[in-house]
Amino acid sequence: MSSSEPIDSTDPRACADRSGSPASGGAPSSEPEGAHPAPLGELPPEEELLARIDELDAELRSLRRLTLLAPEPPPTDPFEALQFAADGRWFLIPIDSVREVVEMVRPQPMVDAPPFVLGTIRFGPLSVPLIDLGARLSERPAALRPDDVLLLLDSPRWIALAVSEVRQVVHVQPDHLAPPPAGLRSAPFIVATYAPREGGTLPVLSADRVGRELCPDDA
């Protein structure tokens, strides 16, 4: 058969050439006829596989939070902020992200929620995650306290913060802002520290970053 002659797929020599038999000049196959690949071993039970999927999903969400919550400089323009207390200390949050301050309500359970989330509450047609801010800052389990008040935030995600007290609105000048204290750097939603002329310091929260930590997939 010349090199220019088309190969007939019915020609037994052509099949031999494709199979790597001595007819093609190739090495003979060392696999005996009828051999099959060895089994991969017994797969883990379905429960173990599902548990591992949950673990990987949690790790992925954690990595997304770290990516989305990279450090950013403090605000550079003056703004109004609401002063409130949580976990035994005072904080500020820009007032333009606060929609309402309401009394505590009993939340509904939230599936696969982080440990600092109490559940969800209804606000009109919305189902809003309720965050125990003190639990998030101190890394303790969330706890429902009837005397707490709720800050309903929209920046741009709707979330509710359970805090112990609300005091006043503060006018913040950017020249009185500094990076957050070292003890609070583990909370990436604290973007600055405000030092008013009368003394003391107040950590400044970003409502947008609180929501991004809870719902990184929405960013």
In order along its 219 residues, the chain shows pLDDT tens digits of 444 454 444 444 444 444 444 444 555 555 555 555 545 456 568 888 888 888 887 777 666 665 555 666 778 899 999 999 998 889 999 999 999 999 999 999 988 888 889 999 999 999 999 999 888 887 777 888 889 999 999 977 899 999 999 999 999 999 999 887 665 555 678 888 998 877 788 999 988 888 777 665 544
pLDDT of 183 reads 58
Dihedral sign (CA 152, 154, 158, 164): negative
What is the domain partition of the chain in residue ranges? 68-218
pLDDT of 68 reads 56
pLDDT of 111 reads 85
The predicted model scores a pTM of: 0.65
Q: Does domain 68-218 have CATH number 2.40.50.180?
A: yes
Which of 92, 86, 101 lies closest to 171 in space, CA to CA?
92
